[in-house]
Amino acid sequence: MLSRVADSLYWMSRYLERAEHTARLIAVGLNLMLDQTPQSVGPRWERLLAALRAYPPPSGSSDAYAIARMLTFDTANDGSIVSCIASARENARQVREQISSEMWEQLNRLYLKVKGSSIDQIWQGEPLEFYQEVKEGAHLFQGVTDATMTHGEGWQFIQVGRYLERAGATASLIDQHFRPFLEAPSDAPVALDYIDWVGLLRCCTAFEAYCKVYTADIQPECVAEFLLLNGDGPRSVRFAADRIQHAMQAVSHATGTRSAGRAERLAGRLRAAMDYGQVDEIIAENMHAYLESIQRQCGAIHGAIYQAYVSYPVDTALTS
């Protein structure tokens, strides 16, 4: 497969996963506004912005309208939903011959839906309905991809992009929620309440799945264990690490590229760390450092993928 094709498929998937993740966090944030105290408004939106690595708008971090506008429709913001979906569509356009017609049509429908909307339009109507349509559009694209595209090398690059993005985003989200909980003095008031922990689970579409494992008893340690180490939860870091490793093994086998070994080894190291992790040890030692390590490992895997498959020197290609 040409490096430009692999690159476009990889980034198409990452951008769409990023747009879906942002839409989900905004929807949960708006939902939580129905049940919050004045003291909790600012910290909740600040955590959301920090999890998305976004700067607060000039009007203030607790202004829901300004935050939603910036994270949804601001084309100057590369991480906004409209920017991510436009970037995903552009990458898909560059490899139009490699994807199915159904994939292209679904991505176009989602793009036109977002481009044809505005913050004032959705704010006066049903903003939650708009974000639900964005999420469903991304999920439908993933389903169409799995159902209509040959599960070969190109499909594997799509999986790597999706789950690398998901692993890093989930780790960042967990980090921002647990930081005030772990850093607060023992005699300080409760940093996060029940609604905040439920909100974290809903940000990962994991509340019902969590309740099936731990019942409705929301304990921070159990939340961390489920979102980090549960192998069956599709939004957990361990689940994503498993999919990344499988995809990298499949790509390496299909291409026979010698330099691909580093990317595969790094993916295997991340998977092994999740397989043998213990949540009590993670919390006791340094949870923030652990979550930052996950994000660094995701970055290292990304770099190794580029070195092996996208920006490799010509002499490497000739000797592979």
Using one digit for the tens of pLDDT, what is the confidence trace for 126-144? 899 999 999 999 999 999 9
State the CB neighbour count (10 A cutoff) for residue 30.
15
Cβ pair 15, 84 in contact under 8 A: yes
Is pTM beyond 0.85? Reply is yes
**Cα 305 to Cα 309: distance, rounded to the nearest angstrom:** 6
187 and 61 in a common domain: no
247 and 104 in a common domain: no
- Backbone φ and ψ for 78, nearest 5 degrees, come out as -65, -20
Which residue, chain included where needed, has tokens 């920006």? 311
Average pLDDT over residues 191-210: 92
Q: What range does the domain containing 21 cover?
A: 1-149
In the predicted model, is pLDDT for residue 314 greater than 50?
no
Helices (H), the chain: 3-32, 38-51, 64-73, 81-94, 101-115, 119-124, 127-148, 153-183, 194-203, 207-214, 220-229, 237-255, 261-275, 279-305, 314-319
For 308, which DSSP code?
I
Per cent of the chain over pLDDT 70 is 92
73 and 204 in a common domain: no
Picking from 149, 184, 213, the residue at the C-terminal end of a domain is 149
- Backbone φ and ψ for 23, nearest 5 degrees, come out as -60, -40
Ranges 157-161, 217-221, 226-230: which has the least confidence: 217-221
Mean pLDDT over each residue of the chain, to the nearest integer: 91
What is residue 261's predicted lDDT score, i.e. its pLDDT? Answer: 82
Picking from 90, 116, 149, the residue at the C-terminal end of a domain is 149
281 and 187 in a common domain: yes
Average pLDDT over residues 28-40: 83
- The type of residue at 201 is L
249 and 197 in a common domain: yes
163 and 76 in a common domain: no
Domain total in the chain? 2
Look at residues 171, 168, 175 and name the one whose alpha carbon lies nearest to residue 303: 168
177 and 37 in a common domain: no
